[in-house]
Amino acid sequence: MSKFRLKNLPLSRQILILFMLLTSVLGVGLGIGYPFAVKQYLVNNTYALLEDELFSLSEHITFNEKNELLTIPSSAPYFLQLLLSRYEYSFDMIVYSIDGRHLGSRSSGQITYQDSMDLFREAASHPSGRIQHGELDRADESYLFVSKKMDYHGFPYYIVLFSKEQELNQINSILTRQFLLVFSLLLLVSWLLAVWFSGYLSKPLRSLEELCKKIARRQFDIPLAMDRGDEIGQLARSFDSMKNQLKEYDESQRHFIQNISHELKTPIMAIQGYTQGLIEGVFQGPQAEKGLTIIMEESKRLEKVVGQLLYLTKIESVAQMMQMGRVDLSEMFKLLKVRLSVLNPQVEWELKLPPELVMEGDGEQLSTAFVNIMENQLRYAKSRLNITGKQAGQQVIVTISNDGPPIEEALLPQLFQRFRKGKSGKHGLGLAIARAVFEAHGGTIVAENTADGPCFTMTVPVKSLS
């Protein structure tokens, strides 16, 4: 349930909460595990230090003729003093004969007789010749010790070095407090940085949110300046691209409404005008027949415009309903040449096509698209129409060009929009239909002015993308 609540919070707060939870879990884990780890480290190092000191002191232990222990060094080696100078730490030594008699000691504190004898028994129970590590537990005090059986010119003895575990616990407590203090400061600093970082990440996202709201209100002229190279910057650039495309689409829709109103208004007004004249008896005899002819022509023109609009809407909205199959473009263009050459008999057709140019597509729609383009080309061509086709990898590339006048530069960017037409154009829907057909097949169409004349280039995948 908490997961669903968390995702409903602002992103900055999610980042902060998750970071705090992570660091808190880490802090609790370290707070629990650190003292045990330090304690184990101190115990291991205490044994090592005691062992080193045992070997060091054994070189200075001497006995007199009565086997009495002579004076031994009263201070630890210099490196041990440096290591333990910051802490209340000490270690003691006791020397025993092999029968348990106390021969001498160096002690910083009192140790009971019973504890002393227990240390001897622990040392004597261990095989001779090897050093022993051990721990002596008592109700009020525990000891860590190392012991070994030694020999001084034929006189055997036991040497035991020990340290109070309470002193290690005190050192552990000091180190733990210091660690927790440092960790708490680091945790506080990291939380402050997390607050800043969460705001740093969420601020540009809030800017994008404001931009989206403005776009929803159709405010497209607001610039989006976000100088970032990360994923947020990429998202911002995508939003800016989307904004520009929506602006272009919005403008094209306004032009569409204006143009379709004009295209439909002209034939409707002609039909209404002649019909009113016939009803009122203004047109009689031959004039009446002429009026009826004009009404029929304008109604057909109106029907054609509406039919093309419906066809364009169908192609753009239900492209997945296309009837896909095998299409040979080489064969299609040969048939289209026979069918369309009568539109402009003075134009010579030049086909540069392979014997077969096969692709997967809707043959009827592709034929409609190519017819619209070639009708447009034949309308402006002077003497020649060139059609070339080839397969390049997994794509089919077809170019259609003519030797007519160049396309107006101002018209090129909007050439494939609905109701955009040149001076000699008809309804301005043919090229829009062609673009919709090629895009429905996963392809593209581009128009450009070349040295030889206007050229249309169509690129369509060999295999359907559906």
* CATH at 256: 1.10.287.130
Give pLDDT, residue 257. 65
Claim to verify: residue 157 and residue 19 sit in the same structural domain? yes
218: left (phi over 0), alpha (psi -120 to 50) or beta: left
Range of the domain at 304: 247-317
**Has residue 370 been placed in a domain?**
yes
The CATH number assigned to the domain holding 431 equals 3.30.565.10
Give pLDDT, residue 253. 67
**Which of 363, 373, 366, 364 is closest to 416 using CA atoms?**
373
Claim to verify: residue 298 and residue 337 sit in the same structural domain? no
Do 218 and 186 meet the contact criterion of CB atoms below 8 Å apart?
A: no
Give pLDDT tens digits along the chain (466 positions): 445 566 666 666 777 777 778 877 887 777 777 777 777 777 777 777 777 777 877 777 888 777 777 776 554 444 444 444 455 556 788 888 888 888 887 766 677 888 888 888 888 887 777 888 888 787 667 778 888 888 888 888 888 888 777 766 777 677 777 777 887 888 788 888 877 877 777 777 777 777 788 777 777 777 766 667 667 777 777 777 787 777 777 776 666 665 666 666 667 777 777 787 777 777 777 877 777 887 787 787 777 777 666 665 665 554 445 778 899 999 999 998 888 888 888 889 999 999 999 999 888 889 888 988 888 888 888 889 999 999 998 999 999 999 888 888 877 777 777 555 555 444 457 788 788 888 888 899 999 888 888 999 999 999 865 5
**Has residue 183 been placed in a domain?**
no
Claim to verify: residue 36 and residue 97 sit in the same structural domain? yes
Give pLDDT, residue 332. 92
Last residue of a domain, one of 301, 317, 333: 317
Claim to verify: residue 393 and residue 300 sit in the same structural domain? no
Claim to verify: residue 28 and residue 14 sit in the same structural domain? yes
Claim to verify: residue 285 and residue 378 sit in the same structural domain? no
**Has residue 297 been placed in a domain?**
yes
The CATH number assigned to the domain holding 118 equals 3.30.450
What's the total number of domains in the chain?
3
**Has residue 234 been placed in a domain?**
no
**Has residue 232 been placed in a domain?**
no
Claim to verify: residue 16 and residue 116 sit in the same structural domain? yes
**Has residue 85 been placed in a domain?**
yes
Last residue of a domain, one of 171, 201, 234: 171
Claim to verify: residue 327 and residue 292 sit in the same structural domain? no
Give the per-residue SS3 of 53-67: HHHHHHCCCCECCCC
Last residue of a domain, one of 171, 196, 227: 171
Claim to verify: residue 167 and residue 25 sit in the same structural domain? yes
Do 18 and 3 meet the contact criterion of CB atoms below 8 Å apart?
A: no
Claim to verify: residue 307 and residue 327 sit in the same structural domain? no
For tokens 């096509």, the residue is 353
Do 329 and 359 meet the contact criterion of CB atoms below 8 Å apart?
A: yes
Give pLDDT, residue 81. 47
pLDDT in tens, 408-419: 887 777 777 755
DSSP annotation of 129 reads T
> How many Cβ atoms sit within 10 Å of the Cβ of residue 349?
18
Q: Is the dihedral of CA 288, 293, 296, 297 positive or negative?
A: negative
Q: Which helix (H) or strand (E) holds 287?
A: helix 286-317
**Has residue 223 been placed in a domain?**
no
For tokens 């301005």, the residue is 428
**Has residue 226 been placed in a domain?**
no
Alpha-carbon distance of 120 to 95, in angstroms, equals 9
Claim to verify: residue 78 and residue 121 sit in the same structural domain? yes
> How many Cβ atoms sit within 10 Å of the Cβ of residue 130?
8
Claim to verify: residue 15 and residue 128 sit in the same structural domain? yes
Name beta bridge partners: 40.
none
